[in-house]
Structure 1
């Protein structure tokens, strides 16, 4: 009897301790998110897990402004790019069944695809090391009208097949491209004979009891309890009217309640799917010998001494962020239906709340590296993103290294945490790596996604004769003509569905549009402009435009 009472007492104490901790987290998370509680604006839903329990699940704001429907933990949101890990999980199933291999050349399943210098393998698609150009950027570059024109995976595949070059050799580096996961979806469907939604339902989603999760493989289907995605515009909100139907890289729906199950799986708490979690979190060694941080639909990084696995998503009308720490058996997911809500920032703020009372010093010190305090002047200067017009100025102010970007709003302070490595003072997940390399001078990692930069010699607009670049230029790969002209002493660009784009000088014979697109003009031996090479988003390079002869 005494033993029974003792066990009961201990059990009650444990329950009380758990509830006390849960209430403490609830109060702090509520305080963090209370600004999103609204009766007339879109918002978000959140789920936080610890072990096999959800310790916080709540919706804020409205799922539908027309009908005043509130967001909840069962509301269906767009997952955006979090969908990639589900596509990768379908590849895992096919590998387990012996129907494909990661070392297979993708042309085994997609024979229409171009032959490049080196074969692209399935594993290159999974970890974004294929070098294949991002179709969203390509479509923007030829003036695709998202509001009026339909496209699907076949459209994307046809566009990919027209491309004559890659951004880099397969396996050389990580360069994020949605085209990779569209191609994976096509491979899955050709091999399995099922569409991606059917395949995932049978092999992944139904066994996990994630019944609210799906891939949108057709338009017009009614989706109950779905949040409408909104953008802020003119003191109000507008929703997406696009009819696109490309999936594999996105176009999935789920609730934070379902995603709690997925986070438990990623934390290797569901025995049947532990091999899947390990597959998704497996990183590979690049051709350079460096280990990639992007695994298979999952980014692997460190935060406050812990290894974290996660992914973000960004689309019209919403953002998403998922993060897990297997060692702590915790996970956080935030899904929004308002594009301006910063889901990644919210997730890391919640993670800070969960880790606030932890004795993290031991975990942090276990990964410490002995380094000499940097001579900060060695890192200062102007940098330009490779295959983009985005520039970053690194400078020293009051003995602190700072970074200010051409697209950013203000300078941010950097703190050193290892040799040649810094992170943002207020965002430790954003890291700057100045480790010497032959292909780049700096990498900026946003939660594990790398952006590559080289030192730049920026030029003053006063030294540039804009009239040298006036003319019409045609690209066979994009089937579009670009018209460059001067207006009010500014070089401007117009092409299909894009008018009067202001350009600014970057380096010699280079101009940018301040949206990660670079126009590099080429000259002949007599120094005449004869063409233009187009670069964009870090994943597109060397798209050639020939200058048209002037006819009278």
Structure 2
């Protein structure tokens, strides 16, 4: 823990030293107990001008914005304008009846079962940032869906969809635009004069940093989001305003009801408790509560949160993908928090090293683990080393892996559990099957695609964007892996190919039927 007489500036500067130069940077705001707020900035807000980042630089906050959207809804719930158990189709009649009521609270808690609209538009050939999408575009795509990821309230499945629908609900319930509502009822009262929404990506914003992504080796490309969808993200702010927001929640300056409901854990219908509230993640770090949210939108990243038991609040905003605000937040928090208990991890015995490696895949969505022998133990192919606890039990980051007969359970700290089954990997050099070649269509996304054998796999092209091709590589029998997705081949009893099923992390299952002929 940081000695009381020591200045935190030097260790904070050290944490951000790699980004304190002619590279995309970060700004940080921090307050500890009754001490005055500390603001620092590192790196460049713009590489072309060039212009350095400052504590007044405006960044995008990614999914940190979700707590603000949730707070706006909760204010209206407290006022009796909205109710948590309202059927969302009361305000969004465009949506189909899925056979079970989806409530406003389901949207707030990521338990609605609605598919991720961003993954759905990607299955038209036009992913996010390749063309301009708005909240109404998200609603239109969700209105096409005939299925959910799961029945409402039964699972926690994080998506942006609900938080792009909530601003529309606020607007239809109040007759006021969402940016105007939040300016009058949230940003104005809290003195957040530099905070607004990116509801028009063409609008000029004074002092805004440019977002950047990695380009050629050692270089960068523009990573500013070409998008008008907001509520799930799209909040423009600086660290002074964002820190004011974080401390305001801790002081209940928006009212005890709003803070309490934001921090109230999700309880599923089976009683499972989830480490998420309404727009806030609920965790524990070094034995103290951690209430936070992270975010990332194209080239921007962010983190904002509190350690209320330690009197610590922090906001970090970055305009590049080379720094991890989550890692930096915890690194800085360590200066103020008790020491972490040591993890008693050893080397797995030879029998463990022999039994566990293999390919594991979820039967529900796109989630893959490739376990390999690594550094005398086990690890993820191309990734982290597993910390051995006891036979069949390991830690992968903050998740626990529990191996069983032909499967592994991934138990995340938020309370969710993913079950991955062992699969027989495709033989090296196996080519895409000519039987899969053909044209496929989906009415749910209004899209057609073609598949054909190419090299070691299949070539995927969407009819609406034929100039762009993606190579799908064989993963296991009748399954191919692409960029962020798994494609499974569907066959009838005679073994004939009838369609393909797409799985992503946030779209559990979406089928394309094979065209006749």
TM-score (norm: length of structure 1) = 0.84
Q: Which residue of 1 aligns with 2:460?
A: 493
- State how many pairs are aligned: 504
Moved more, 109-118 or 230-239: 230-239
Q: 1:465 to 1:504 in 2, by over 3 A?
A: closer
Q: Which residue of 1 aligns with 2:487?
A: 519
Quote how far apart the aligned CAs of 1:470 are. 1.2
Q: 1:217 to 1:502 in 2, by over 3 A?
A: closer
Note the 1:425-436 alignment, pairs <5 A.
427=397, 430-432=398-400, 434=402
Q: Which residue of 2 aligns with 1:158?
A: 140
1:328 aligns with 2:296: no
Quote how far apart the aligned CAs of 1:154 are. 0.9
**SS of corresponding position for 2:266:** coil
Q: Which residue of 1 aligns with 2:360?
A: 383
1:344-399 CA deviation, whole Å, 9 max, x = no partner? 111121122322xx3666xx99xx9xxxx9x9689765321454444213467688
Q: 1:348 to 1:494 in 2, by over 3 A?
A: same
Note the 1:459-498 alignment, pairs <5 A.
459-461=425-427, 466-495=433-462, 496-497=464-465
Gaps spanning 5+ residues in structure 1: where?
A: 1-16
Q: Which residue of 2 aligns with 1:227?
A: 209
Q: 1:288 to 1:461 in 2, by over 3 A?
A: farther
Q: 2:107 aligns with which of 114, 125, 145?
A: 125
**SS of corresponding position for 2:98:** coil
Whether contact under 8 Å (1:94, 1:100) holds in the other structure is yes
Whether contact under 8 Å (1:196, 1:217) holds in the other structure is no
Q: Which residue of 1 aligns with 2:471?
A: 502
Whether contact under 8 Å (1:280, 1:296) holds in the other structure is yes
Q: Which residue of 2 aligns with 1:236?
A: 219
In structure 2, how many angstroms separate the alpha carbons of the residues matched to 1:273 and 1:262? 13
In structure 2, how many angstroms separate the alpha carbons of the residues matched to 1:535 and 1:233? 28
- Of structures 1 and 2, the larger Rg is shown by 1
Q: 1:545 to 1:191 in 2, by over 3 A?
A: same
Q: Which residue of 2 aligns with 1:283?
A: 265
In structure 1, how many angstroms separate the alpha carbons of the residues matched to 2:416 and 2:183? 32
1:442 aligns with 2:409: yes
Q: 1:176 to 1:529 in 2, by over 3 A?
A: same
1:263 aligns with 2:241: no
TM-score (norm: length of structure 2) = 0.89
Whether contact under 8 Å (1:444, 1:451) holds in the other structure is yes
In structure 1, how many angstroms separate the alpha carbons of the residues matched to 2:294 and 2:252? 23
1:401-454 CA deviation, whole Å, 9 max, x = no partner? x3405xxx234232549x987544xx5xx2225499xxx952353x74957342
In structure 1, how many angstroms separate the alpha carbons of the residues matched to 2:209 and 2:470? 34
Whether contact under 8 Å (1:517, 1:534) holds in the other structure is yes
Q: Which residue of 1 aligns with 2:14?
A: 31
Q: Which residue of 2 aligns with 1:458?
A: 424
Q: 1:455 to 1:201 in 2, by over 3 A?
A: same
Whether contact under 8 Å (2:167, 2:178) holds in the other structure is yes
Moved more, 460-469 or 376-385: 376-385
Q: 1:258 to 1:416 in 2, by over 3 A?
A: farther
Note the 1:188-267 alignment, pairs <5 A.
188-234=170-216, 235-240=218-223, 242-266=225-249
Q: 1:139 to 1:359 in 2, by over 3 A?
A: closer
In structure 2, how many angstroms separate the alpha carbons of the residues matched to 1:114 and 1:151? 21
Greater share of residues in helix: 1
Q: 1:303 to 1:147 in 2, by over 3 A?
A: closer
Whether contact under 8 Å (1:42, 1:230) holds in the other structure is yes
Whether contact under 8 Å (1:54, 1:260) holds in the other structure is no
1:354 aligns with 2:336: yes
Quote how far apart the aligned CAs of 1:164 are. 0.8
Q: 1:167 to 1:65 in 2, by over 3 A?
A: same
In structure 2, how many angstroms separate the alpha carbons of the residues matched to 1:185 and 1:415? 45
Q: 1:271 to 1:84 in 2, by over 3 A?
A: closer
**SS of corresponding position for 1:53:** coil
Q: 1:411 to 1:270 in 2, by over 3 A?
A: closer
Moved more, 78-87 or 104-113: 104-113
Q: 1:435 to 1:201 in 2, by over 3 A?
A: farther
In structure 2, how many angstroms separate the alpha carbons of the residues matched to 1:232 and 1:435? 36
1:447-468 CA deviation, whole Å, 9 max, x = no partner? 7495734213133235776122
Moved more, 144-153 or 470-479: 144-153
1:82 aligns with 2:51: no
